[in-house]
Structure 1
Amino acid sequence: MTTTASAPAPADLGEIELAVSGMTCAACASRVERQLGKLDGVHATVNLATERATVHLSAPVPLESLVAQVEKAGYGAAPVVAEQDRPDHADRVRDLWRRLMVALLLGIPVADLSITVVLVPALRFPGWQWVLLAMTLPVVTWCAWPFHRKAVAAARHGSSSMDTLVSLGVVTSAGWSFYTVFHDDADGLADAGWHLIFEPAGSVYLDVAVGVTVFVLAGRLFEARARRAAGDALRALARVGAKQATRLRADGTEEAVPADAVRVGDRLVVRPGETIAADGVVRDGSSAVDTAAMTGESVPATVEAGDAVTGGTVAVAGRLVVEAVRVGAATQLAQLIRLVERAQTDKARVQRLADRISAVFVPVVIGLAVLTGLGWGWAGAGPHRAISVGLAVLIIACPCALGLATPTALLAASGRGAQLGIFIKGLQVLEPARAIDTVVLDKTGTVTNGRMTVAEWWAADSADSDRVLGAAGAVENATGHLIGRAVAAYALRELGELPRVEEFGALPGLGARGRVDGRAVLIGSPRLMDRSGVPVPAQCPVAGTRWADRGGTTVLVAVDGVVCAALLLTDTVRSSAAGAVRALREMGLRTILLTGDNPASAGAVAAEIGVDETIAQVLPADKAAVVARLRGEGHVVAMVGDGINDAPALAGADLGMAVVTGTDVAIGAADVILVRDDLDVVPLAVALARRTLRTIRVNLAWAFGYNLLALPIAAAGLLNPLISSAAMALSSLLVVSNSLRLRGFGEPRDRPAAR
């Protein structure tokens, strides 16, 4: 894989997730990462948006030491003990709302009165200074307390954060204003008041103190609501899982048990309207199963005995008996939730640069604000003017937008992707998505439904057809391959039972061999027979063109070195395949159908779906070689597959996308997992990746550009501190609101279109 990612220490001993509280900016996240990294054998990645720290361990480190290390940095930490243990920011939203309301109710009169009494001395009344003090103190103390607390905590540990800038701005402007109000004479205030009309700032900055508090609280409230809204999809996914299950005892009686008490091998009764509590296989009954919560697919799928079902889906009609295969944290639902959370913790290269900048940005800005004030004073400006300009620099430089640019976009995109059935493993996989020009599609199980059926069976006149069919079914039953399952199911349906196979051996891409009833059985493609030196009799249908023209897959059966039977298997193309290929081509992407089947079968499918190119009769190792060749020619390749034989190609592509109905090996090798049983999700996944990366780039461009442009303007004395605080809050609001636009991705107007 050529995608770029951070280089964590080897996670030989696994990893631990910590919930970190108290972070407010990118500098906070960087500080926690550095503090945890001081421990030997620890490499940590901290995400501001999810408030999670993923700690990779290459040496034994007690959990208590990790928590203590985070607390040394001035933040709270606790192990994540459950998948549902994720912040929803509800308490934080309520707290910020209360503080903002108080700040508004008191701050507006404070700003009005502080300006009025300065501009119009005649309106002053006895004790007006104390009225101002009484209304201002709650705003700059209780309302702004979250900023002061974080600033003091950071200072105790010899560091700083965005809250340091906010706290210093509020305290400095309020303190200087109180000094001016209580110590300047009336004439001095009046002069300063008229000075306000002609200059960006005057001597009384109570409006600045309350304004900064109001604007920053409003920005934080919006951010908290945005984080909560962006995480709604993930929390909803976590709630999909069943809380209760009905277990079927060996004597046929039923018992209600908590879902976390279900064990592998348990048989569960699922009635209409109930949620399936574990991944499993239907052993009895049939039902339509609503998979919308997992895949976004609105049409329920019909399942019956032998079909696999996924935990978190709902039986719509009909009673099922499901044998649990994967439970708890091993279920597909739990794994996908962890996958999304891990993606939200990931960082792009440009965001890691932003983190490093934010870590040193605050002390640099404080120094710049001091130097700016001193410079203005040295140039002959009065103390009021020098302090005003210094405050403007201090306030406008908060790097909040810089820290929110990437995590809010990924939080919104991964949550929306989960709703659409698209699970992104990490942010680094998005970076090549913009440059993809070629999409390689596996045929069987990806473009087709993957449910092969035996369309025709031929046996030589001299053969015992039932015995040959039984031998073929026994060998293929051991393969687990789609074709093998189809042959085994056909043989079992015709004969009722299958004999035992010995000395089984899989021949990837060709077939399989084994010994049944003491006779050597070789079953597979005509190419396997050719390689094995087994001649095909002239009367076999495969020797002519009749079967080849039908576009199916031919399987030959040889017993003791003689081909004595053949089967024609067919697979139907997914109804969504042609539309998906058309959408990919409209996006400017080259499409290639890659398969191990014969050219006739591959050509028939290719003609039906409209791909640009077909590569047939490809062995598993050759699939990876095809991808490598395409990349060697300068193409950026996305591979879509589902089987074990697709895993090398998925891993070797720039972007690997695995259909979740495929094997665990394929899913493990892919970068993006497609849950919906609908190929339309392929172009949608590419479009989401591109849209997310574009959103992140816009966010970062704005955040960097804002700071680079605003600082010189503020240092030049062209910005009032109040305007600076509004601009700083507006910058964060723009970044967050731009990210939240991803929550509406997938609507008809956002469907994939040409570049």
Structure 2
Amino acid sequence: MNTNEHNHHNHGSQEHSKELHLEIEGMNCASCVNKVQKALKSVDGVEDVAVNLATEKAKVTFKGHGPGHKDLSEAVKKAGYSVKFKNEDRHTENHMHHGEVPGEDKQKSLRRQGLKVLIAFGLVAPLVLPMILQPFGISFHWSPFVQFILAAPIQFWLGARFYGTGLKAIKNFSGNMDLLVALGTSAAFGLSLYIWLFSGSEHVAEKLYFEAAAVIVTLVLFGKYLEAKAKLQTSEAIRALQSIRPETARIKTAEEEKEIPINAVKVGDVVIVRPGEKIPTDGTVLHGNSEVDESLLTGESLPVAKTPDSKVIGGSINSFGVLHVKTTAIGAESTLERIVRLVENAQAAKAPVERLVDKVSAVFVPVVMLLALITILAWGLSTGNWEQAIINGVAVLVIACPCALGLATPAAIIVGTGVAAKVGILIKDAEALEIAHSVTKIAFDKTGTLTEGKPQVSNFVSVEGSDSAVFAQLASVQSGSEHPLAKVTLAWAKNHGIKYEPAQNIKAIPGKGLEGVVNGENIIVGTFKLMAERNIDLGSLQQRFEQRMNEGETVSFIANTSSGKILGMISFSDQPKAESKESIAKLHELNIKTMMVTGDNEGSALKVAKALGIDEVKAQVLPGEKAQVVESLKVQGERVAMVGDGVNDAPALAAAHVGIAMATGTDVAMHTAGITLMRGNPLLIADAIEISRRTYSKIKQNLFWAFIYNIIGIPLAAAGYLSPVLAGAAMAFSSVSVISNALLLRRWKPASQKRVEK
């Protein structure tokens, strides 16, 4: 069974939920979604189901072995729809259909639909010609036989789909949009046949409604075509991501270089990437220097420099140098596949706001059919004109189709998450998107989130001997350490041409520093605390030390324990990222309060907070305590987002209403965080909040329009003020207007990109 593991915020449970993705064919309104959902939920072993009208997909969640494909297929078929199982191993799938463009089936289907719409318009044009010419004083009518010949193919051939799914709905004692269209147009067509065959009037041609039935079917087909075309545009982001996957890779073996299919590459293989080629897999550069375009994966518009030991992402494009890359991840584990899976999951999920739509659509179609019946009886009994009564009933059936209602939320979510993914904001699910719009306070980790996370030597001073001699001793002891500050020290020594030999007997003093023997002298390097423990007097450095600490810098000392003398002091600073201040200002513009939660000392934290304009600071907080700080903010009634690097901040990210992980390219903390930022640019935080707000407002606008069409349209149709033709046009364009409104989200420009354009 093709499944992929997915962690549902339940980090404590041993058994993770698994997912199965199904493609459902034949759904066309909110009540169809409801039926498929109910059918799948009734299968044993299914925990949860999310069905999406806009993507025509269902996501089934289960534990353990779960249900079989056959059980799920039968449940969907019984409900009146057809199903295809989606192959989770995209690499296998990709090579089974070599060279196939993602979404090609949908494009072929769209072309077929377009052809049918053209034929329908060709047949319906002569039928509406008399109506068009009437205002110009030209009065003529086609004979009943000509009207019948033009309308019948539209009704029974081009409109056959409405009968097929409408009949299935009746069999299942439920209703859907197709049933309403089939009932409405059949009533108008049947009434025309009856009048033609059984009315003795010589002016019978004027009293027929063949054109009403034909126009309704044509307009609904046209609406469905525009809807399908727009749906294809909404899922453009996924198709763009899928299309950047390379088909082959050039690998280096002991004897030769050879080109192999991408799914034959194994972890550990060395891949050779020439200038202008796509990097086939995630990996680490062994040798070679180049720049790589990662814009489609991370949203980073500028090329990124790559040197030995740099990480690269499969799907990015190499610029000018030859790179030898050691493969670190393939298939479903690659960054590209994880991004595609994440975006697909977000687009397939139901937003909490959709529960209202589900409740409404469950009773919608039966209520509309009842209203149409009441309209027919009320008009017929009060006026005696049963023809007009049936026509008004038809208008009620046609105007009330709930397709716009079913598309309102998913269309906005698909466009919103797709646009966000293009700029490097990965939204895990619809719930994260919905929560993010209402965030009132954001808690930030400091190092690597607001600051570069790359400390630099800011000051060095020696009090015994020359600066270079003391620095050489410092570097000698540090040469045995993997600590980030030791690496910075050694790089500084190298850049300044300071020669040193590794010290002997190097020992780490956990949490405090290092000691070693240099030229027979016992040298220690470490914190103020270590110096105090070894009774080293700081002397003239005491004042400097306090000053540096107040500046928010990290300070280390070097001392000779053989002589008991202090030798010197080195301090390090971690600079705020260039965009951090602008990001905080942007969040304040969005009325969001900011807080820094960091393990650093108070001086360092306050200095950075003041420079960036952050409202509140919690310093010297241990990683495990960050989650408690987040919980306390929730108790105060705040809607909290936590921003961290996704490694040591995992508990706090999980505790927040929405966790935002600052991921660095390939190390994507996708499980804990609701939102993952593919670049370390803090402006993406404000962008993530803004796109979620915009998407949520589009959902509200769409739901308003979907409901308003029906709230205004149904009473007008029942009162006889809306002809079936107008009702058909209004219904067809309600769906199109909802999708078009959602597509306006594509015009959104993120602050992080505007900055680059400047």
TM-score, normalised by the number of residues in structure 1: 0.85
Match of 1:91 in 2: 108
Q: Is 1:56 aligned to 2:61, yes or no? A: yes
Cα–Cα, structure 1 residues 120 and 738, in superposed 2: closer, same or farther, change >3 Å? closer
**492-501 vs 145-154, which moves further:** 492-501
Letter in 2 for 1:686: I
Letter in 2 for 1:111: V
Q: Is the 8 A contact 1:475 1:514 kept in 2?
A: no
SS of the equivalent of 2:649 reads helix
1:611-665 CA distances to partner (integer Å, 9 max, x unpaired)? 3333332221232232223232222222221142222222222222111218958
Q: Is the 8 A contact 1:268 1:321 kept in 2?
A: yes
Letter in 2 for 1:569: F
Query: Displacement, 1:112?
Result: 3.3
Query: Displacement, 1:439?
Result: 2.3
Letter in 2 for 1:25: C
Query: Displacement, 1:353?
Result: 2.0
Of the candidates 389, 392, 396, which is equivalent to residue 389 of structure 1?
Answer: 392
Match of 1:553 in 2: 554
Q: Is the 8 A contact 2:506 2:514 kept in 1?
A: no
Q: Is 1:71 aligned to 2:71, yes or no? A: no
**605-614 vs 708-717, which moves further:** 605-614
Q: Is 1:20 aligned to 2:24, yes or no? A: yes
Match of 2:679 in 1: 676
Match of 2:345 in 1: 342
Counting only pairs closer than 5 Å after superposition, residues 455-466 of structure 1 correspond to structure 2 as 455=458
Match of 1:237 in 2: 241
Match of 1:744 in 2: 747
1:407-449 CA distances to partner (integer Å, 9 max, x unpaired)? 1001111111111111111111122333322222222111222
Q: Is the 8 A contact 1:472 1:557 kept in 2?
A: no
SS of the equivalent of 1:14 reads strand
Match of 1:704 in 2: 707
1:287-329 CA distances to partner (integer Å, 9 max, x unpaired)? 1111111122221111212222222211212222222112111
Q: 1-side partners of 2:582 and 2:344: how far apart?
A: 31
Q: 1-side partners of 2:318 and 2:288: how far apart?
A: 11
Match of 2:447 in 1: 444
Of the candidates 167, 189, 200, which is equivalent to residue 182 of structure 2?
Answer: 167
Match of 1:226 in 2: 230
Match of 2:148 in 1: 133
Q: 2-side partners of 1:382 and 1:229: how far apart?
A: 47
Compute the RMSD of aligned alpha carbons: 4.0
Query: Displacement, 1:697?
Result: 0.8
TM-score, normalised by the number of residues in structure 2: 0.85
Cα–Cα, structure 1 residues 465 and 123, in superposed 2: closer, same or farther, change >3 Å? closer
SS of the equivalent of 1:538 reads coil
**262-271 vs 568-577, which moves further:** 568-577
Cα–Cα, structure 1 residues 671 and 747, in superposed 2: closer, same or farther, change >3 Å? closer
SS of the equivalent of 1:443 reads coil
Letter in 2 for 1:382: N
Query: Displacement, 1:391?
Result: 0.7
Query: Displacement, 1:76?
Result: 1.7
Letter in 2 for 1:50: T
Q: 1-side partners of 2:535 and 2:181: how far apart?
A: 84
Cα–Cα, structure 1 residues 421 and 121, in superposed 2: closer, same or farther, change >3 Å? closer
Q: 2-side partners of 1:643 and 1:306: how far apart?
A: 22
SS of the equivalent of 1:432 reads helix
Q: 2-side partners of 1:270 and 1:635: how far apart?
A: 49
Cα–Cα, structure 1 residues 107 and 496, in superposed 2: closer, same or farther, change >3 Å? farther
Cα–Cα, structure 1 residues 512 and 263, in superposed 2: closer, same or farther, change >3 Å? farther
Cα–Cα, structure 1 residues 335 and 121, in superposed 2: closer, same or farther, change >3 Å? closer
Cα–Cα, structure 1 residues 401 and 606, in superposed 2: closer, same or farther, change >3 Å? same
**573-582 vs 663-672, which moves further:** 663-672
Q: 1-side partners of 2:547 and 2:108: how far apart?
A: 71
How many positions carry a matched residue from both structures?
A: 720
Q: Is the 8 A contact 1:110 1:135 kept in 2?
A: yes
Letter in 1 for 2:208: V
1:142-194 CA distances to partner (integer Å, 9 max, x unpaired)? 2212222221233344432111111111222112112212321235638xx5x
Q: 1-side partners of 2:503 and 2:257: how far apart?
A: 33
Q: 2-side partners of 1:163 and 1:342: how far apart?
A: 28
Match of 2:192 in 1: 177
Of the candidates 315, 325, 333, which is equivalent to residue 330 of structure 1?
Answer: 333
Q: Is the 8 A contact 2:428 2:670 kept in 1?
A: no
Q: 2-side partners of 1:179 and 1:456: how far apart?
A: 98
Cα–Cα, structure 1 residues 123 and 620, in superposed 2: closer, same or farther, change >3 Å? closer
1:393-417 CA distances to partner (integer Å, 9 max, x unpaired)? 1111111111000010011111111
Q: 1-side partners of 2:9 and 2:404: how far apart?
A: 23
Q: Is the 8 A contact 1:642 1:663 kept in 2?
A: no
Query: Displacement, 1:95?
Result: 1.9
Match of 2:538 in 1: 538
SS of the equivalent of 1:554 reads strand
**662-671 vs 297-306, which moves further:** 662-671
Match of 1:591 in 2: 594
Q: Is the 8 A contact 2:599 2:619 kept in 1?
A: yes
Q: Is 1:101 aligned to 2:118, yes or no? A: yes
1:687-717 CA distances to partner (integer Å, 9 max, x unpaired)? 1000000100111122123223322232222
Query: Displacement, 1:606?
Result: 3.0
**105-114 vs 410-419, which moves further:** 105-114
Match of 1:723 in 2: 726
Letter in 2 for 1:49: A
Q: Is the 8 A contact 1:49 1:407 kept in 2?
A: yes
Match of 1:362 in 2: 365
SS of the equivalent of 2:600 reads coil
Of the candidates 653, 673, 688, which is equivalent to residue 685 of structure 1?
Answer: 688
Match of 1:200 in 2: none
Letter in 2 for 1:67: S
1:197-235 CA distances to partner (integer Å, 9 max, x unpaired)? xxxxxx522221112112211211111111111111211
Match of 1:627 in 2: 630
Counting only pairs closer than 5 Å after superposition, residues 415-494 of structure 1 correspond to structure 2 as 415-455=418-458, 474=480, 476=482, 486=488
Cα–Cα, structure 1 residues 183 and 267, in superposed 2: closer, same or farther, change >3 Å? same
Letter in 1 for 2:244: V
Runs (5+) with no aligned partner, structure 2 = 1-7, 95-101
Identity, % of aligned positions: 35
Letter in 1 for 2:53: L
Match of 2:51 in 1: 46
Query: Displacement, 1:680?
Result: 2.0
Letter in 1 for 2:85: P
Match of 1:196 in 2: none
Cα–Cα, structure 1 residues 36 and 189, in superposed 2: closer, same or farther, change >3 Å? same
Cα–Cα, structure 1 residues 116 and 692, in superposed 2: closer, same or farther, change >3 Å? closer
